[in-house]
């Protein structure tokens, strides 16, 4: 499998092998959805050790690895490492301390290397999306756009935030989404000032803004979108804040392309919001990378030192939050190219008034 070969070609010289059992990395390299499984990659071979619940599926799905039925895991690992003359094995920095200690204890013949290097190599590889990954994310976003169209027809004053969140998810799954890419945020009226608020029993009222931040899963890949809509005429102040956020979203998007620093993109949106007098009301970063996980690196934030590269999928999500009053966030997901970026989000972002 090409992904495994690429990882081997970037493996630090002092590692003879790597062990991968984090759920997202395992899915990325073995191509198999499972809650268990251990991937061992040496310089000349790859093994996927998996228990009986998954063995039949693994034999059909996993390519480029020898699939082994899990028995006594540590004994199996020791045997593989001995066979390939492995003296030093690298592990992911996301492992628990307990599992790290167990490995060290149960594999006394090899040195277990735990540092940041393997995680960084994998994160760099996962950052640049392959065409098939882009296709899955486009599909996830298509479910998301269709669910948004549906919910705009569904929402009525008097419905609660919870009812709206549930309908969004139910509809998305009905049309094919594998699931929600994270717990949906539906916040209305004064709850809108909570950027990551949970849906409550609050009924939406005329004059409210409703912010909906949601996404779907397709082939394990996430989509992420936010829209803020009005129920009835929102009034001058809300309209003007909405326009400021939209302006920030559009200006950042126009600047995204390979070669520009992530920090700079964040600054473009932040300057617009600050100039309008709401700099203090935009507390989070402008965006993040999306893939198998909803929040991946790099980030559009004031502290991110990374440079945009072609093949990244990033969100552009400025917001203004007025404590105890209301909030606005508009989030699109883009694919970065050499010349600019392609907006993967098709939903209208001009203010929708129901
Ligand atoms: Zn979001
Ligand atoms: Zn996001």
Ligand 2 geometric centre to CA of 189 (Å) = 21
Q: Which ligand is nearest to the CA of 144?
A: 1
How many whole angstroms from 331 Cα to the centroid of ligand 1?
Answer: 6
CA nearest neighbour of 123 among 310, 289, 331: 289
- pLDDT for 1 equals 64
Please, how many CA atoms are within 13 Å of residue 92, restricted to the half-sphere of its CB? Answer: 18
Give the Å distance between the CA of 225 and the centre of ligand 2.
7
The rounded distance, in Å, linking the Cα atoms of 88 and 1 is: 23
Q: Are 54 and 34 in contact (CB under 8 A)?
A: yes
Looking at residue 105, its pLDDT comes to: 96
pLDDT, position 230: 98
Distance of CA 204 to the CA centre of its chain: 29
Burial of 151 (0-12, 13-18, 19+ CB in 10 A): buried
Question: 320: CA distance to ligand 1 center in Å?
Answer: 14
pTM, two decimals, is: 0.95
The CA–CA distances, whole Å, from 201 to 186, 213, 250 equal 11, 17, 33
Cα 318 to middle of ligand 2, angstroms:
10
The string of DSSP codes covering 17-64 is EEEE--HHHHHHHH----S--EEEEESS-EEEEE-TTTHHHHHHH--S
User: Hey, what are 22's tokens?
Assistant: 């984090």
Task: Name residues with Cβ closer than 5 Å to ligand 2, which is an ion.
Answer: 224, 315
- Tell me the H-state helices in 89-204: 97-106, 117-127, 131-154, 161-174
In the numeric block, which tokens belong to residue 182?
């994270």
Alpha-carbon distance of 263 to 270, in angstroms, equals 10
31 CA distance to ligand 2 middle (Å): 25
Centroid of ligand 1 to alpha carbon of 267 (angstroms): 19
Closest ligand relative to 329 C-alpha: 1
How confident is the prediction along the chain (354 residues), in pLDDT tens digits per residue? 699 999 999 999 999 999 999 999 999 999 999 999 999 999 999 999 999 999 999 999 999 999 999 999 999 999 999 999 999 999 999 999 999 999 999 999 999 999 999 999 999 999 999 999 999 999 999 999 999 999 999 999 999 999 999 999 999 999 999 999 999 999 999 999 999 999 999 999 999 999 999 999 999 999 999 999 999 999 999 999 999 999 999 999 999 999 999 999 999 999 999 999 999 999 999 999 999 999 999 999 999 999 999 999 999 999 999 999 999 999 999 999 999 999 999 999 999 999
- Positions of E strands within 231-324: 287-289, 296-300, 313-316, 319-322
The burial class, CB within 10 Å (0-12 / 13-18 / 19+), for 261 is: middle
Q: Which ligand gives the minimal distance to the CA of 314?
A: 2
Cβ contact 128:307 at 8 Å: no
pLDDT at residue 131, rounded to an integer = 97
Which secondary structure element, helix H or strand E, spans residue 329, and what is its range?
Answer: strand 326-329
Residue 14 to residues 84, 210, 240: CA-CA distances in angstroms?
15, 53, 58
Q: Which two tokens stand for residue 49?
A: 């050790």
How far does residue 180's CA lie from ligand 2's centre (Å)? 13
CA of 105 to the centre of ligand 2 (A): 40
Q: What's the CA-to-centroid distance between 194 and ligand 2, angstroms?
A: 14
Angle, nearest 10°, between helix axes 23-30 and 117-127? 60
Expressed in angstroms and rounded, the spacing between residue 265 Cα and the centre of ligand 2 is 15
Cα 132 from chain centroid (whole Å) = 16
* DSSP one-letter code for 152: H
Q: Kindly list the strands in the beta sheet with 111-114, ordered across the sheet, starting from the edge strand earlier in the chain.
A: 66-69, 46-50, 38-42, 17-20, 88-91, 111-114
User: For the residues of 154-177, what is the DSSP string, one character each?
Assistant: H--TT-BHHHHHHHHHHHHHHTT-
Cα-to-centroid distance, 130 and ligand 1 (Å): 22
Q: Is the CB of residue 249 less than 8 Å from the CB of residue 255?
A: no
CA distance 287 to 7: 27
Q: How far is the CA of 190 from the centre of ligand 2 (A)?
A: 21
* Ligand 1 mean position, distance from CA 196 (Å): 9
Distance 313 CA to ligand 1 centre (A): 13
Surface-to-core class of residue 154, CB atoms within 10 Å of its CB (0-12 exposed, 13-18 middle, 19+ buried): middle
Ligand nearest to the CA of 211: 1
């Amino acid at each position: 499998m090409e992904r495994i070969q690429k990882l081997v070609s970037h493996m630090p010289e002092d590692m003879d092998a790597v062990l991968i059992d984090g759920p997202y990395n395992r899915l990325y390299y073995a191509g198999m959805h499972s809650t268990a499984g251990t991937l061992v990659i040496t310089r000349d071979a790859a093994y996927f050790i998996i228990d009986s619940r998954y063995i039949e599926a693994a034999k059909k799905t996993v390519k480029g690895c020898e699939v082994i039925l899990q028995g006594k895991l540590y004994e199996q690992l020791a045997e593989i490492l001995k066979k390939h003359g492995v003296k030093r094995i690298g592990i992911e920095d996301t492992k628990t301390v307990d599992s790290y200690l167990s490995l060290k204890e149960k594999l006394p013949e090899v040195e277990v290397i735990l540092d940041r290097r393997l995680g960084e190599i994998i994160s760099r590889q996962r950052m640049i999306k392959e065409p098939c990954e882009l296709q899955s994310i486009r599909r996830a976003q298509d479910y998301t756009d269709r669910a948004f169209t549906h919910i705009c027809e569904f929402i009525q004053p008097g419905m609660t935030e919870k009812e709206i969140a549930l309908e969004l998810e139910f509809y998305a799954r009905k049309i094919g989404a594998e699931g929600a890419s994270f717990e949906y945020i539906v916040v209305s009226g004064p709850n809108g000032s909570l950027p990551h608020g949970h849906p409550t029993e609050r009924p939406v009222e005329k004059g409210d803004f409703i912010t909906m931040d949601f996404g779907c899963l397709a082939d394990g890949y996430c989509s992420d979108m936010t829209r803020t809509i009005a129920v009835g005429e929102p009034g001058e102040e809300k309209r003007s804040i909405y326009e400021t956020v939209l302006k920030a979203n559009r200006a950042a998007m126009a600047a995204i392309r390979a070669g520009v620093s992530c920090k700079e993109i964040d600054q473009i949106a932040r300057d617009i919001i600050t100039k309008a007098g709401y700099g203090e009301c935009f507390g989070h970063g402008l965006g993040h990378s999306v893939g198998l996980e909803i929040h991946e690196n790099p980030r559009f934030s004031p502290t991110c030192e990374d440079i945009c590269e072609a093949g990244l999928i990033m969100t552009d999500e400025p917001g203004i939050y007025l404590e105890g009053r209301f909030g606005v966030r508009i989030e699109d997901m883009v694919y970065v190219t050499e010349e600019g970026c392609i907006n993967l989000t098709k939903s209208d972002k001009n203010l929708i008034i129901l």
